[in-house]
Structure 1
Amino acid sequence: MAQVLEFKLPDLGEGLTEAEIVRWLVGVGDVVAIDQPVVEVETAKAMVEVPCPYGGVVTARYGEEGTELPVGAPLLTVAVGGTGAPEELAEAAPGTAPTAGEGAAESAVSSEYSGNVLVGYGTAGPAARRRRVRHESHAVAKAPAPAAQAPPAPAAQAPVAPVGSAPVAASGTGREGPVPVISPLVRKLARDRGLDLREVRGSGPEGLILRADVESALAALDRPAAAPAPAPARAAAPAASSAVVAPAGERVPLRGVRGAVADKLSRSRTEIPDATCWVDADATELMAARTAMNAAGGPKISLLALLARICVHALARFPELNSTVDTAAREIVRLPDVHLGFAAQTPRGLVVPVVKDAGTRTAESLTAEFARLTEAARESALTPADLTGGTFTLNNYGVFGVDGSTPIINHPEAAMLGVGRIIPKPWVHQGELAVRQVVQLSFTFDHRVCDGGTAGGFLRYVADCVEQPAVLLRTL
């Protein structure tokens, strides 16, 4: 007799709480093996193929391509054991058989579990989920597949109580104790805007607060109040009229990598008091040095690798800039190692792969690692580990044919160096006008970690190394 096990979206690590279904790799009725990838999802960090820890026949899929699911939501169900005959699969239809969370079924088919451990799955059976996931997955498991894909209720159907209003027991607001929220991202959104979640009425199962509920509450707070306080029945009128005059146009969801970048850049500009300084530098000698290196034989050295070496040595002279700010503790945390991020444009948007331990790498090693990460970025094969842990970012926007920019710091780092295109320009060299290879260097820094003198010293040292690579030899 086949038993149906429910496979939920596992915790993919790095604090990720949701993922978007990009492509299903199996269909209903397909036979899957243990650890076979069944779906490709996009998180805020990378594209990931998710393997199923069960072997059997797929009986249901939850979510169409393009659907965003929270961690713990059902992905698919698999009929495990038995002969796989149609009548057995019909008897073991989703919703009528025990799921992976019901210990009896798990112990009966423990031989069908994967030896690889996903968070929440493994050879010993699935671990207990966090409280917020139990609310979500329990509700979805009771509903048929189409209901699991239904979008959150419209804001108009999720009434909220304004912050500061008296608790209303009948509406479920003014609650005591923990408030059920669909994800930590939604809880953070409310906290950052000063919204008391106890005053929000959740429209999800068992009063679960969805993102739409929080956004509706924030919209209500942002609407200017009339001179005499309007009655509740009239308060909805401005919202209705504003919806009518809203401009029409294509709406592009901020999801996955693009959504993560938007959040990080917004947070950077909100939290970091940044300042930018820039300088033009004569890169003729650096370009000549690179040509000589590559003519000597061996692996070719990239210009980005040479700039990275310069940055690493500049950070050794100005360690204040290889740091982060702990805003809660009001402390600057100076970091011992340089993990160098570099901006890379991909079909999925801007990503910042990180070269770990850049301070200990040679120019050849840096060239090879830049090439590996760039290729992985183009193939959407970067892992979350490749995109996290950076302490300083190098942004070569000269590849786009522009001279200068004011980089936005890659939160929570403290600085970023931007490099424009290197082109022939008139330049005074040794007292005479000449045509030289000139580049503009832009440096944005967190003014909390240092003053302009330190930032200027860093940028001047970088420019000196670009103009006279022999300066760098003094520190090798």
Structure 2
Amino acid sequence: MAQVLEFKLPDLGEGLTEAEIVRWLVEVGEVVAVDQPVVEVETAKAMVEVPCPYGGVVTARFGEEGAELPVGAPLLTVAVGESAAARPAPDADGGGEAAEPARGGSAGPGGPRTGEPGTGEPRSEGSGNVLVGYGTSEAPARRRRVRPDRAATLAAGARMNGRDRGADPAPEGPVPVISPLVRRLARQHDLDLRELTGSGPDGLILRADVEYALRAAAAQGGRTAVPADGALAAGAVRAPAAGVSGASSASSARSGGIRTPLKGVRGAVADKLSRSRREIPDATCWVDADATELMRARTAMNAGGGPRISLVALLARICTAALARFPELNSTVDTEAREIVQLDQVHLGFAAQTDRGLVVPVVRDAHARDAEALTAEFARLTESARAGRLTPGEVTGGTFTLNNYGVFGVDGSTPILNHPEAAMLGVGRIVPKPWVYEGELAVRQVVQLSLTFDHRVCDGGTAGGFLRYVADCVEQPAVLLRTL
């Protein structure tokens, strides 16, 4: 006898609480193997392929591509057992509760478990190899009851919704809703989803259907008002539809334009930079340096016919050498213990602009790599960043950041630190400029270097010493050779 097991969005680590479905890798009715990737999701850190711990037939998918799901929300259900292959697929792809998990099923980090003593249900073991924190769920929570005084008004709006879309209201049974946001929206406004007819594929109830019903109810004298742009936030104020106040007019005036949700990489960047600005008292110092000799040294290194050395790799070598002399800048502040934690390894982050936004891949143990190894690792991580294949481990754990904003054609910047790091070296564009060289005016390749640092970990003397050493290495690469 086949059992239907529910697979939830696992804990993806690093404190991540939600993920956006980018692409489904399996269809309803398809047979999947244990540990087969079933969905590609995007977190605030990276793209991740999520494998399923069960082998069997996919009976339902919970979430459209582009939907955002919290950790622990259902992803899909799988029929496992001897008769799984013969199990018919549900009418709707991702039909919410169309496939109900086995009662009493549970799972944890040790592997999925189904069946309880006395139920007569066989036991099915999964692989246990699904990142962290997956598992089957208990029976779905009961629907929230509609208050009698609101049922008539909301039902009228729902019936109008069904008539306008040329369909009858959905019958009793599983509600075809896959988005937790839609369920929450309906719950907040005491709306019975069974009264709605979905406009999505196979009658799927979308957010637009819920908002339409609420606006229809408000137009008929209900007490729930929906903003003109259709956005309903949690805890929104409920006000009579009649009598537009000055505040409502101001809200309507702000409803125009393009709205972009702060989620995924953009949301993570916003959260981290806001926290950095709130918590870290940063300061910036800068200096112009003559990079002519560094550029000549790189040209000579690449003339030998071996692997080409990148400029950013040479700058990274200079950074690690400078951090060995000024280790205070390779640290973080433990605010709870009120301690400065000086770190042993240099995990060097570097800013990379991609189609998904700004990401900061991390080169592990940069202090132990030579210029050739650094070049190869920078290239690998940059390619992964642009392809959206970075793992959460490749964008976390940095201790110092190298920010080459010269690629954008600018000379200088005062960046915000990558919390919880204590410092960031900025490198501007390298351009020909008039420069006094050996007592005479000459045209040299000049670059502006800047150091932004957490003033809690050091004072200006340390920061200035670090930046001056970096500038000396840029101007005279032999300085670096003498200190290695």
Task: Report TM bin, short chain.
Answer: 0.7 to 0.9
Match of 2:162 in 1: none
1:116 aligns with 2:116: no
Match of 1:447 in 2: 455
Task: Choose the corresponding residue for 1:369, options 368, 377, 380.
Answer: 377
Cα offsets for 1:172-210 (capped at 9, x unmatched) = xxxxxxxxxxxxxxxxxxxxxxxxxxxxxxxxxxxxxxx
- Matches of residues 386-405 of structure 1 in structure 2 within 5 Å? 386-405=394-413
CA distance in 2, matches of 1:106, 1:8: 20
1:333 aligns with 2:341: yes
CA distance in 1, matches of 2:445, 2:355: 31
The offset of 1:354, in angstroms, is: 0.5
1:268 aligns with 2:276: yes
Match of 1:25 in 2: 25
1:49 aligns with 2:54: no
**CA-atom RMSD in angstroms:** 3.3
The offset of 1:359, in angstroms, is: 0.9
- Matches of residues 164-313 of structure 1 in structure 2 within 5 Å? 212-213=233-234, 239-313=247-321
Identity %: 73
| Helix, strand or coil at the partner of 2:11 | coil
The offset of 1:372, in angstroms, is: 1.0
Task: Choose the corresponding residue for 2:368, options 353, 360, 381.
Answer: 360
The offset of 1:148, in angstroms, is: 3.9
Question: Structure 2 counterpart of 1:274, which letter?
Answer: D
Q: Which runs of 5+ in 2 are unaligned?
A: 92-96, 108-112, 144-172, 191-231, 239-243
The offset of 1:15, in angstroms, is: 1.7
Match of 1:7 in 2: 7
CA distance in 1, matches of 2:346, 2:105: 44
CA distance in 2, matches of 1:403, 1:32: 53
Sort the Cα spacing of 1:454 and 1:110 in 2 relative to 1 into closer, same or farther, 3 A: same
| Helix, strand or coil at the partner of 1:19 | strand
CA distance in 1, matches of 2:84, 2:186: 44
Task: Choose the corresponding residue for 1:105, options 107, 115, 120.
Answer: 115
CA distance in 2, matches of 1:346, 1:89: 39
Match of 1:81 in 2: 81
Match of 1:95 in 2: 100
Match of 1:323 in 2: 331
CA distance in 1, matches of 2:454, 2:101: 57
| Helix, strand or coil at the partner of 1:249 | coil
Question: Structure 1 counterpart of 2:420, which letter?
Answer: P
CA distance in 1, matches of 2:116, 2:387: 37
- Matches of residues 457-468 of structure 1 in structure 2 within 5 Å? 457-468=465-476
Sort the Cα spacing of 1:461 and 1:391 in 2 relative to 1 into closer, same or farther, 3 A: same
State whether residues 362 and 395 of structure 2, in contact with CA within 8 Å, keep that contact through their aligned partners in structure 1.
yes
1:151 aligns with 2:182: yes
Count of equivalent residues: 401
Sort the Cα spacing of 1:96 and 1:116 in 2 relative to 1 into closer, same or farther, 3 A: closer
Q: Which is richer in helix?
A: 1
| Helix, strand or coil at the partner of 2:300 | helix
State whether residues 403 and 425 of structure 2, in contact with CA within 8 Å, keep that contact through their aligned partners in structure 1.
yes
State whether residues 341 and 394 of structure 1, in contact with CA within 8 Å, keep that contact through their aligned partners in structure 2.
yes
| Helix, strand or coil at the partner of 1:251 | coil
Sort the Cα spacing of 1:97 and 1:248 in 2 relative to 1 into closer, same or farther, 3 A: same
The offset of 1:84, in angstroms, is: 4.2
CA distance in 1, matches of 2:75, 2:392: 21
CA distance in 2, matches of 1:50, 1:106: 28
The offset of 1:97, in angstroms, is: 4.4
- Matches of residues 137-148 of structure 1 in structure 2 within 5 Å? 138=141, 144-146=175-177, 148=179
| Helix, strand or coil at the partner of 2:374 | helix
Larger radius of gyration, structure 1 or 2?
2
Question: Structure 2 counterpart of 1:55, which letter?
Answer: G
Cα offsets for 1:187-243 (capped at 9, x unmatched) = xxxxxxxxxxxxxxxxxxxxxxxx9547x69xx9xxxxxxxxxxxxxxx95653432
| Helix, strand or coil at the partner of 1:474 | helix
State whether residues 353 and 388 of structure 1, in contact with CA within 8 Å, keep that contact through their aligned partners in structure 2.
yes
Sort the Cα spacing of 1:297 and 1:106 in 2 relative to 1 into closer, same or farther, 3 A: farther
Question: Structure 2 counterpart of 1:302, which letter?
Answer: S
State whether residues 38 and 50 of structure 2, in contact with CA within 8 Å, keep that contact through their aligned partners in structure 1.
yes
Match of 2:64 in 1: 64
The offset of 1:10, in angstroms, is: 0.8
| Helix, strand or coil at the partner of 1:146 | coil
CA distance in 1, matches of 2:176, 2:479: 65
CA distance in 2, matches of 1:67, 1:255: 11
CA distance in 2, matches of 1:420, 1:297: 29
| Helix, strand or coil at the partner of 2:106 | coil
1:421 aligns with 2:452: no
Question: Structure 2 counterpart of 1:95, which letter?
Answer: E
Question: Structure 2 counterpart of 1:250, which letter?
Answer: I
The offset of 1:306, in angstroms, is: 0.6
The offset of 1:298, in angstroms, is: 2.0
CA distance in 1, matches of 2:422, 2:442: 37
Q: Which runs of 5+ in 1 are unaligned?
A: 160-210, 221-235
| Helix, strand or coil at the partner of 1:310 | helix
CA distance in 2, matches of 1:361, 1:422: 25
Question: Structure 1 counterpart of 2:63, which letter?
Answer: G
Question: Structure 1 counterpart of 2:103, which letter?
Answer: P
